[in-house]
């Protein structure tokens, strides 16, 4: 822009235009002239649009499109000023081009020639769009030059995806970084929820063994206390009448079966029903089992003996016709009562 | 006139109608007293306050199983239930003990309270393992459902001689389950033990739950199995029946029955353990397992005067008290240091 500075200073006297506003605009800057014009204009339609979005607006849009495609200065409608401007622009552009050449150094001679010819055409009164094209062409050239001068790494994927690849990589990295705190937060949350939760080990630790020992001691102590408290009942002496009461309760079933046994025996002796024989046998077995725990052949307590309450008369009864039952009774020691004597 | 008739007809199908109040009274009154000894049966509620993580919820269920049968196994609490609701229900139902789990600042706490007057013992659960964890760690977990039909025996150890809070704690634990009368108790109903041991040095209370197994002494494993299984043994590979007995089984028979663990039974416990025979007491853990620290004792139900730790009253304390207090303060300070961190974690959770 060092070259543009003096140009701008020199411009005002040459552009002694009737419209001061336009002069001002032109004086403001040359490089971004068209852009600035457009911007200044674009403000107005926005204001209008708010009020009437109508055919007028469409028309304006069309106009703007036309403006974009063609030179801005056409709007001004003053040929003379245009000419002046072009004349003004031309040397400036030349100088600019030179400047570029100096900077980049590798601009081809042909390009310059082309630019020169185009400007020549312009000077010859050609269409205003040519200038624009020339400018765009130069920009494109510069951009292309830049791209081509880039040194690319030997990549099988080619240079086109390189930027994209970088983006993807950056995005992935970002995600990973995002995920990390998320996972950590979840872990922390779980840790907080599980605080104090300790999984027991497979083997028993010494501490736990001790605890089991203590608990076992406690249980043993209780069981011993219970056995101490409840023992007297089992140590009853059957011969004493006081203890007999206790036994009576405990061996009530035994007593019951004995009584049934006697009844069955009497019945069996009366009639030779095999049914009663079977009953007798069954009860015999039962009584045998119930008394199997006791070593003595005959229980010490009188009612449990088979001779209990059996008068001599009864015995005689049995003896009369009890040959069939005998065989069974010999098997069972408890059923011997009737055959004794 | 029709309406009452139809109403009566409907009711007839359902059976006799008992007023709800009477029914409730009957329900409440019937099992409140032990039918043999006439002693009052303590009952318990195990529930939680506030939001607790799922592992603690499992622990709660395990604790209920420990407190069976005199507890509400399927007690449901809602967010809007407050302590007063439970208290109101506890009265008519005869519930005497509360066990309240909570998780303030991500530190699990267990409050044991007596209703309706208190006191309340607040424990911080430092470590715990669920019953499922313990079953997983064992090769042969043993937990027959029948053992929960009777309340556990409570074995307390190490509590005596440590002053006031523990003295009353012993009482609390003792009356948590129905008292056992040695004269009438049946040994077959004693199937579980709840061990509570106070460790003076660490200041912690160990909470363990075991099942009791009785094994006849001097009976070989094969016979024991034969009696237990009620099945015909597999004799295919044997030439003689006697081989079944004489052939050595697994060598790992732990026949190291120490004398301390044997008891002579007075009544038949089961088929194997008959009266007037010696049996060995074997315990197997069924869980849950907890390691707790007593942090606070309040005189009321979750309220009232703080009995422990002894509140600091400036100017009145002696030097000894200050020392003790300082130690406790240090502990509490440690706890409070942990708390803000946990609190911030909580905040993140909520977000």
Q: What is the pLDDT of residues B103-139, one digit of tens each?
A: 888 789 999 999 888 789 999 999 899 999 899 888 8
Nearest to A234 among B183, B260, B275 (CB): B275
- Given pLDDT bands bounded at 50, 70 and 90, which one contains residue B46? very high
Nearest to B55 among A197, A212, A233 (CB): A197
Q: Do B41 and B33 touch, CB atoms closer than 8 A?
A: yes
Query: Could you tell me how many CB contacts below 8 A there are between chain A and chain B?
Result: 121
User: A222 — phi, psi (to 5°)?
Assistant: -65, -45
Mean pLDDT in residue range A4-23: 42
The verdict on a CB contact (< 8 Å) between A212 and B285 is yes
Q: In DSSP terms, which residues pair with B211 in a beta bridge? A: B192, B284
- Examine the pLDDT at A131 and tell me if it is beyond 60: no
Q: Do A265 and A338 touch, CB atoms closer than 8 A?
A: yes
Where in the sequence is the domain holding A279, given as residue range(s)? 244-339
Q: Which residues contact B303 (CB under 8 A, 6 or more apart)?
A: B118, B120
The answer to the question of residue A190 being in a domain is: no
Mean pLDDT in residue range B69-85: 87
Nearest to B55 among A194, A224, A225 (CB): A194
- Examine the pLDDT at A124 and tell me if it is beyond 60: no
- Given pLDDT bands bounded at 50, 70 and 90, which one contains residue A183? confident
Q: What is the three-class DSSP state of B202?
A: coil
Nearest to B55 among A193, A201, A220 (CB): A193
pLDDT on residue B194: 92
User: B209: alpha, beta or left, given left = phi > 0 and alpha = psi -120 to 50?
Assistant: beta
Q: Count the Cβ atoms, other than its own, within 10 Å of residue B351.
A: 6
Span A53-87, pLDDT tens digits: 578 888 888 888 888 776 544 444 444 445 555 55
Cα gap B75→B101, rounded to integer Å: 13
Q: Does A50 touch chain B (CB under 8 A)?
A: no
Span A98-121, pLDDT tens digits: 444 444 444 444 444 444 444 444
Q: Do A134 and A90 touch, CB atoms closer than 8 A?
A: no
Could you say which DSSP state residue B33 is in? B
CA A88, A92, A95: angle at the middle one, nearest 5? 155
Cα gap A253→A259, rounded to integer Å: 10
Which stretches of chain B are assigned E, i.e. beta strand?
A: 44-49, 97-102, 109-114, 120-129, 153-157, 192-199, 204-216, 262-264, 278-285, 289-298, 306-308
Span A324-338, pLDDT tens digits: 333 333 333 333 333
The verdict on a CB contact (< 8 Å) between B183 and A230 is yes
The CA distance from A216 to the nearest CA of chain B, in Å, is 7
- Given pLDDT bands bounded at 50, 70 and 90, which one contains residue A309? low
- Examine the pLDDT at A305 and tell me if it is beyond 60: no
Mean pLDDT in residue range B263-276: 74
The answer to the question of residue A133 being in a domain is: yes
Residues A138 and A254 in one domain: no
The verdict on a CB contact (< 8 Å) between B137 and A188 is no
From B111, B89, B85, B82, select the one nearest B98 (Cα to Cα).
B111
pLDDT on residue B63: 92
The answer to the question of residue A132 being in a domain is: yes
- Given pLDDT bands bounded at 50, 70 and 90, which one contains residue A313? very low
What's the token pair of residue B109?
A: 């706490």
Q: Which of A120, A149, A178 is the last residue of a domain?
A: A149
State which residue of chain B sits closest to A181, comparing Cα positions: B348
Span A242-272, pLDDT tens digits: 545 545 445 566 666 677 777 777 776 666 6
Interface test with A, best of B62, B133, B180, B195 (most A CBs within 10 A): B195
Could you say which DSSP state residue A258 is in? H
Q: Which residues contact B272 (CB under 8 A, 6 or more apart)?
A: B214, B215, B216, B219, B224, B227, B228
Greater confidence, A90 or B148?
B148
The CA distance from A182 to the nearest CA of chain B, in Å, is 11
User: A179 — phi, psi (to 5°)?
Assistant: -70, -35
Q: Which residues contact A200 (CB under 8 A, 6 or more apart)?
A: B129, B133, B134, B137, B289
Q: Which residues contact A57 (CB under 8 A, 6 or more apart)?
A: A45, A48, A49
The verdict on a CB contact (< 8 Å) between B195 and A218 is yes
Span A167-180, pLDDT tens digits: 777 888 888 888 88
Q: Which residues contact A219 (CB under 8 A, 6 or more apart)?
A: B153, B155, B190, B193, B212, B281, B283
Nearest to B108 among A196, A224, A229 (CB): A196
The CA distance from A188 to the nearest CA of chain B, in Å, is 7
- Examine the pLDDT at B193 and tell me if it is beyond 60: yes
CA A217, A220, A226: angle at the middle one, nearest 5? 145
Strand B278-285 and strand B153-157: the pairing is unpaired
Q: Does B263 touch chain A (CB under 8 A)?
A: yes
Residues 37-66 of B with CB under 8 A from A: 53-55
Interface test with B, best of A206, A213, A214, A225 (most B CBs within 10 A): A214
- Given pLDDT bands bounded at 50, 70 and 90, which one contains residue A164? low
pLDDT on residue A38: 46
Q: Count the residues in chain A.
A: 341
Cα gap B326→B314, rounded to integer Å: 13
pLDDT on residue A161: 60
pLDDT on residue A330: 32
- Examine the pLDDT at B66 and tell me if it is beyond 80: yes
The verdict on a CB contact (< 8 Å) between A212 and B283 is yes
pLDDT on residue B60: 92
Q: What is the three-class DSSP state of B74?
A: coil
Nearest to B197 among A188, A211, A228 (CB): A211
The answer to the question of residue A181 being in a domain is: no
Q: What is the three-class DSSP state of B214?
A: strand
Virtual torsion, Cα A38, A41, A46, A49, nearest 10 deg: -120
pLDDT on residue A55: 82
Q: Does A292 touch chain B (CB under 8 A)?
A: no
Greater confidence, A108 or A341?
A108
Cα gap B194→B178, rounded to integer Å: 13
Q: Count the Cβ atoms, other than its own, within 10 Å of residue B303.
A: 12
The answer to the question of residue A64 being in a domain is: yes
Residues 170-189 of B with CB under 8 A from A: 180, 182-183, 185, 187
- Examine the pLDDT at A23 and tell me if it is beyond 80: no
Q: Which of A128, A149, A170 is the last residue of a domain?
A: A149
Mean pLDDT in residue range B139-152: 87
- Examine the pLDDT at A149 and tell me if it is beyond 70: yes
Interface test with B, best of A193, A209, A215 (most B CBs within 10 A): A215
Structural domains in chain B, sorted by start: 32-213 (3.40.50.10480)
The CA distance from A247 to the nearest CA of chain B, in Å, is 14
From B301, B298, B296, B299, select the one nearest B116 (Cα to Cα).
B301
The answer to the question of residue A159 being in a domain is: no
The answer to the question of residue A189 being in a domain is: no
% of chain A surpassing 70 pLDDT: 34
Residue-wise DSSP of B6-27: HHHHHHHHH-----HHHHHHHH
Q: What is the three-class DSSP state of B297?
A: strand
- Given pLDDT bands bounded at 50, 70 and 90, which one contains residue B65? very high
Nearest to B182 among A211, A226, A234 (CB): A226
Residues A135 and A253 in one domain: no
pLDDT on residue B58: 92
Q: Does A197 touch chain B (CB under 8 A)?
A: yes
Residues A15 and A129 in one domain: yes
Q: What is the three-class DSSP state of B312?
A: coil
Cα gap A191→B342, rounded to integer Å: 10
The answer to the question of residue A323 being in a domain is: yes
Contacts of A201 in chain B (CB under 8 A): 137
- Examine the pLDDT at B32 and tell me if it is beyond 80: no
Greater confidence, B196 or B233?
B196
CB burial string A243-282: b at 16+ within 10 A, e below: bbeebeeebeebeebbebbbebbeebbeeeeeebbebbbe
The verdict on a CB contact (< 8 Å) between A208 and B285 is yes
Contacts of A193 in chain B (CB under 8 A): 53-55, 106
> Domain total for chain A?
2
Q: Which of A109, A128, A149 is the last residue of a domain?
A: A149
The CA distance from B73 to the nearest CA of chain A, in Å, is 22
Residues A8 and A140 in one domain: yes
- H helix intervals, chain A: 4-14, 20-28, 33-51, 55-69, 79-104, 109-123, 129-149, 162-193, 206-230, 241-250, 252-270, 274-290, 312-320, 323-331
Contacts of B349 in chain A (CB under 8 A): 189, 192
| Burial (Cβ within 10 Å: 0-12, 13-18, ≥19) of residue B320 | exposed
Q: Which residues contact B208 (CB under 8 A, 6 or more apart)?
A: A208, A211, A212, A215, B194, B195, B197, B285, B289
Q: Does B257 touch chain A (CB under 8 A)?
A: no
Q: Do A201 and A263 touch, CB atoms closer than 8 A?
A: no
% of chain B surpassing 90 pLDDT: 14
What is the residue-averaged pLDDT of chain A?
Answer: 60
What's the token pair of residue B319?
A: 């030097």
pLDDT on residue B211: 92
Span B199-218, pLDDT tens digits: 888 888 999 999 988 888 77
Highest mean pLDDT out of A165-169, A208-212, B184-188, B346-350:
A208-212
Sign of CA dihedral A65, A71, A73, A79: negative
Contacts of B283 in chain A (CB under 8 A): 212, 215-216, 219
Contacts of B342 in chain A (CB under 8 A): 192, 195
């Amino acid at each position: 822009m060092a070259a543009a500075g003096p140009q701008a200073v020199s411009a005002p006297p040459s552009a002694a235009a009737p419209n001061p506003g336009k002069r001002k605009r032109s004086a403001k800057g040359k490089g971004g002239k068209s852009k600035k014009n457009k911007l200044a204009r674009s403000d107005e339609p926005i204001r209008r649009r708010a009020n009437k979005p109508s055919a007028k607006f469409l028309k304006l849009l069309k106009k703007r499109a036309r403006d974009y495609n063609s030179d801005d200065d056409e709007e001004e409608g003053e040929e003379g000023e245009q000419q002046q401007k072009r004349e003004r622009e031309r040397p400036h552009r030349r100088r600019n081009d030179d400047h570029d050449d100096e900077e980049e150094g590798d601009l081809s001679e042909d390009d310059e020639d082309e630019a020169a010819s185009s400007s020549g055409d312009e000077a010859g009164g050609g269409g205003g769009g040519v200038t624009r094209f020339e400018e765009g062409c130069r920009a494109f050239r510069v951009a292309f030059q830049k791209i081509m001068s880039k040194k690319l790494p030997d990549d099988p994927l080619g240079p086109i995806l390189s930027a994209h690849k970088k983006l993807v990589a950056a995005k992935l990295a970002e995600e990973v970084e995002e995920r990390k705190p998320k996972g950590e937060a979840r872990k922390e949350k779980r840790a907080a929820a599980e605080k104090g939760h300790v999984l027991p080990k497979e083997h028993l630790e010494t501490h736990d063994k001790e605890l089991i020992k203590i608990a076992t001691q406690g249980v043993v102590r209780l069981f011993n206390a219970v056995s101490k408290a409840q023992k007297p009942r089992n140590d009853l002496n059957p011969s004493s009448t006081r203890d007999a009461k206790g036994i009576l309760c405990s061996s009530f079933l035994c007593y019951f079966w004995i009584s049934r046994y006697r009844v069955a025996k009497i019945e069996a002796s009366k009639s030779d029903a095999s049914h009663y024989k079977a009953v007798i046998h069954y009860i015999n077995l039962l009584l045998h089992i119930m008394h199997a725990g006791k070593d003595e052949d005959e229980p010490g307590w009188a009612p449990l003996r088979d001779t209990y309450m059996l008068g001599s008369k009864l015995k005689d009864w049995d003896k009369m016709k009890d040959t069939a039952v005998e065989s069974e009774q010999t098997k069972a020691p408890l059923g011997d009562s009737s055959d004794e004597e | 006139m029709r309406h009452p008739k139809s109403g009566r007809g409907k009711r007839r199908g359902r059976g006799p109608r008992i007023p709800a109040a009477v029914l409730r009274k009957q329900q409440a009154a019937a099992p409140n007293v032990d039918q043999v000894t006439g002693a009052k049966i303590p009952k318990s509620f195990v529930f939680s306050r506030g939001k607790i993580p799922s592992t603690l919820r499992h622990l709660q269920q395990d604790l209920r199983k420990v407190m069976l049968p005199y507890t509400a196994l399927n007690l449901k609490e809602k967010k809007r239930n407050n302590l007063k609701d439970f208290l109101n229900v506890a009265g008519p139902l005869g519930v005497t003990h509360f066990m309240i789990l909570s998780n303030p600042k991500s530190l699990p706490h267990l409050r044991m309270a007596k209703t309706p007057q208190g006191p309340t013992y607040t424990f911080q659960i430092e470590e715990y393992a669920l019953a499922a964890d313990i079953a997983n760690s064992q090769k042969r977990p043993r937990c027959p459902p029948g053992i929960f039909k009777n309340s556990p025996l409570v074995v307390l150890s190490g509590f005596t001689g440590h002053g006031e809070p523990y003295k009353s704690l012993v009482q609390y634990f003792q009356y948590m389950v129905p008292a056992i009368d040695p004269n009438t108790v049946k040994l077959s109903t004693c199937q579980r033990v709840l061990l509570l041991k106070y460790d003076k040095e660490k200041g912690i209370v160990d909470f363990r739950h075991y099942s009791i197994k009785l094994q006849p002494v001097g009976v070989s494993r094969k016979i024991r199995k034969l009696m237990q299984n009620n099945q015909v043994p597999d004799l295919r590979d044997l030439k003689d029946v006697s081989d079944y007995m004489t052939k050595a089984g697994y060598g790992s028979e732990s026949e190291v029955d120490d004398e301390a663990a044997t008891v002579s039974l007075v009544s038949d416990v089961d088929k194997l353990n008959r009266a007037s025979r010696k049996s060995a007491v074997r315990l197997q853990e069924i869980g849950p397992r907890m390691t707790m620290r007593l942090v606070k004792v309040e005189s009321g139900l979750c309220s009232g005067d703080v009995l422990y730790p002894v509140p600091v009253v400036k100017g009145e304390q002696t030097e000894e008290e200050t020392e003790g207090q300082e130690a406790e303060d240090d502990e509490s300070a440690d706890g409070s240091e942990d708390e803000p961190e946990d609190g911030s974690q909580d905040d993140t959770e909520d977000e």
